[in-house]
Structure 1
């Protein structure tokens, strides 16, 4: 993959140069893992490194400064901008321990966002990324979260973010919990940040439950069942196929 830098001045690039180098090296390692074990064949053409403002006002109107557009990943390496964004998703709720967690969010957690975007390119996912999709979007989004976190975070970091997002799901369930996992993204990116992230939190937790509780930590077995759902004609929704409609994640 090519690495392209689109900062407004050289000083801004230099400020992030070291973290970009660290991220690039670890992304290469993660890419090799995906190629060997998770059918990453058609890799993105490049990563565009930019500021949060440029990512969300020039390259996109999405409120989150990391996304894939066709064959290119766009992301800001600005850790401070990410910390601010994650605090905003709390919508002013009095959650001081979670706010402290996000105020001190590590580089590793930002790296998983980049890993998430790369994971979307795996051929194990049934639908072409970026196409209009109606079925099972939560599975791909949740699995991209799970795999990138599983392999780029420490074990402690992984369990901590899972606990944080479980608590956030509980906090926001009254506001957003009446929609099914199968309706991932139905509220669109015009919704509040917490509403957008609620779908991601639940999707990650659903995949974590499937892998660790239902399939004995066998990620490939979860993918096999996902493909079985498709081969059988997607008769049920994917949550029903997995029986997730009968459990509380």
Structure 2
């Protein structure tokens, strides 16, 4: 997997150089986990490390400076700008505990975003990533979150982000939570930053519940049910299928 640097100035690159080097060392360990246990067979061609501005105005027009386009990952490693972005999603709600978390968000939490993009490339997902996808998007997106957080973060960090996102879902449920998770992605990256992130928060919590409560921490069982849903013709929405799935009984 090639490492490509796309910054407008030498200073921008130098400000991120050491962090990128640390990320690559840790990412190799996560990559090995995916290769050994989660059918990562074909790596992306490259990671393009770039600035937030270029990621959101030149390489794409989405508000979040991390994405995969075909077989290339684009990511901004600018931690301070990620912190500011995540603070914006609070819509000036003024919850000091959550503000403090994002003001001090660690490198590890940023690395999970890189890990999320890498996880999209595992063969356990039944849809080709570049295809137009109309259902089960929530499952792939937040299984990517779950796996990257589970294997990159410490237990303390994992529990911390879980609790923060539980509070965020409760905070914005009335405003943004009036539709099923199976509708996730029908208008991808449209609307406010918070409305986009709300779907990710609650999808992550749904996947966590599936793995840790319904499947008793057996991630392979969750994937088995997901493949069964697909092989049987996707007759029901995936969330409804999981709710009734006999594999979890």
| TM-score normalised by length of structure 2 | 0.96
2:31 aligned counterpart, secondary structure = helix
2:4 aligned counterpart, secondary structure = strand
Asked if the contact 2:134–2:185 (Cα under 8 Å) also holds between the matched residues in 1, the reply is no
CA-based RMSD of the aligned residues comes to 0.9
Counterpart for residue 232 of structure 1: 232
Mapping for residues 86-101 of structure 1, pairs under 5 Å: 86-101=86-101
Cα distance in structure 2, aligned partners of 1:233 and 1:67: 29
Asked if the contact 1:2–1:45 (Cα under 8 Å) also holds between the matched residues in 2, the reply is yes
| CA deviation after TM superposition for structure 1 residue 42, in Å | 1.4
| CA deviation after TM superposition for structure 1 residue 188, in Å | 3.1
Counterpart for residue 40 of structure 1: 40
Cα distance in structure 1, aligned partners of 2:46 and 2:100: 34
Counterpart for residue 152 of structure 1: 152
Counterpart for residue 165 of structure 2: 165
Mapping for residues 97-108 of structure 1, pairs under 5 Å: 97-108=97-108
Counterpart for residue 200 of structure 2: 200
Counterpart for residue 16 of structure 1: 16
| CA deviation after TM superposition for structure 1 residue 187, in Å | 3.7
1:235 aligned counterpart, secondary structure = coil
Cα distance in structure 2, aligned partners of 1:51 and 1:234: 40
Q: How many pairs were matched up?
A: 244
Counterpart for residue 65 of structure 1: 65
1:109 aligned counterpart, secondary structure = helix
Cα distance in structure 1, aligned partners of 2:64 and 2:219: 28
1:48 aligned counterpart, secondary structure = strand
Cα distance in structure 1, aligned partners of 2:216 and 2:207: 12
Asked if the contact 1:52–1:65 (Cα under 8 Å) also holds between the matched residues in 2, the reply is yes
| CA deviation after TM superposition for structure 1 residue 29, in Å | 1.1
| CA deviation after TM superposition for structure 1 residue 235, in Å | 1.2
Cα distance in structure 2, aligned partners of 1:135 and 1:186: 9
Cα distance in structure 2, aligned partners of 1:118 and 1:188: 19
| CA deviation after TM superposition for structure 1 residue 209, in Å | 0.1
| CA deviation after TM superposition for structure 1 residue 231, in Å | 1.3
| CA deviation after TM superposition for structure 1 residue 233, in Å | 1.3
Asked if the contact 1:4–1:48 (Cα under 8 Å) also holds between the matched residues in 2, the reply is yes
Structure 2 residue 52 is the aligned partner of structure 1 residue 25: no
1:202 aligned counterpart, secondary structure = helix
Gaps of 5+ in 1: 245-249
| CA deviation after TM superposition for structure 1 residue 147, in Å | 0.1
Structure 2 residue 87 is the aligned partner of structure 1 residue 81: no
1:242 aligned counterpart, secondary structure = helix
Asked if the contact 2:112–2:145 (Cα under 8 Å) also holds between the matched residues in 1, the reply is yes
| TM-score normalised by length of structure 1 | 0.96
- CA shift digits 1:76-135 (9 cap, x unpaired): 110001000000011111211100000000000000000000000010001001211111
- CA shift digits 1:196-215 (9 cap, x unpaired): 00110011000000000010
